[in-house]
Chains A and B, each alone.
Chain A
Amino acid sequence: QSVLTQPPSVSGAPGQRVTISCTGSSSNIGAGYDVHWYQHLPGTAPKLLIYVNKNRPSGVPDRFSGSKSGTSASLAITGLQADDEANYFCQSFDSSLRGPVFGPGTKLTVL
């Protein structure tokens, strides 16, 4: 069972906006540790989308944005496109486990 929780799936039509939540606890996100987001297609290398809560690496479109509040963080994707269909997972640090922790992933379906 993951230390971080995410909805198993979200969906949206092309052009719409979706958000994916990542909920933690007082030993990780709630303790102030930063959150990172990745996009993952099966059989490929995960791709960093957002780091340190809200920062985009070079090359990631501004359709992707991140936020964090309290014990949760969110990834928002606007202007949904067909090739956004993928798994998205969050990452933070947990003081009890003394290392990085990952969410279970959320499958985004573009209708």
Chain B
Amino acid sequence: HITLKESGPTLVKPTQTLTVTCALSGLSLSANGVGVGWIRQPPGKALEWLALIYWDDDTYYTPSLKNRLTVTKDTSKNQVVLAMTNMDPVDTATYYCAHRMVEASGAFDVWGQGTMVTVSS
């Protein structure tokens, strides 16, 4: 039974760096094929994929935010961390992490409940 849980600040100031953590249980980040994605949803808007990291440290980023995003993993803690620099009020959103199914064309089969982040001075 895989579970994911996001944690991070609820409020960040403009220009600050956001760091959100995704803790996994029931699955090892070092297991072959494991991938974890970050997706966000601004209030009233559509979901937006942000980043992906795989068991072998391969990473992918959405092109429009690539310069601001860094995703890493800590296999000793079984956690994935997303950092987003130069936060702006438009980055206010619920940030989700999700497990990417193996051999399923990129479907995310388990999601965390999300963590709401507000960007305001």
Chain A interface (Cβ within 8 Å of chain B)? 2, 33-34, 36, 38, 43-48, 51-52, 57, 89, 91, 93, 97-105
A91 touching B106 by the CB < 8 A rule? Answer: yes
A104 touching B46 by the CB < 8 A rule? Answer: yes
Q: List 16 A-B contacts (CB under 8 A).
A: A45-B96, A45-B112, A45-B114, A46-B98, A46-B111, A47-B111, A48-B110, A89-B47, A91-B106, A93-B106, A97-B62, A99-B49, A100-B49, A102-B48, A102-B49, A104-B45
B111 touching A33 by the CB < 8 A rule? Answer: no
Scoring B48, B105, B110 by chain A CB atoms within 10 A of each residue's CB, the highest score goes to: B105
Interface members, chain B 23-70 (any A CB < 8 Å): 37, 39, 45-49, 52, 60-63
Q: Which residue of A lies closest to B105 (CB)?
A: A34
Across the interface, which residues of A come within 8 angstroms of B104, CB to CB?
36, 51-52
B107 touching A91 by the CB < 8 A rule? Answer: yes
Q: Does B113 contact A (CB under 8 A)?
A: yes
B46 touching A89 by the CB < 8 A rule? Answer: yes
A39 to chain B, nearest CB (A): 11
A48 touching B49 by the CB < 8 A rule? Answer: no
Q: Does B74 contact A (CB under 8 A)?
A: no
Q: CA A31 – CA B39 in complex, angstroms?
A: 23
Q: Does B119 contact A (CB under 8 A)?
A: no
B114 touching A102 by the CB < 8 A rule? Answer: no
A45-B113, A52-B104, A93-B105 given; A102·B47 CB < 8 A: yes
B46 touching A2 by the CB < 8 A rule? Answer: yes
Q: CA A1 – CA B49 in complex, angstroms?
A: 13
Q: CA A102 – CA B112 in complex, angstroms?
A: 17
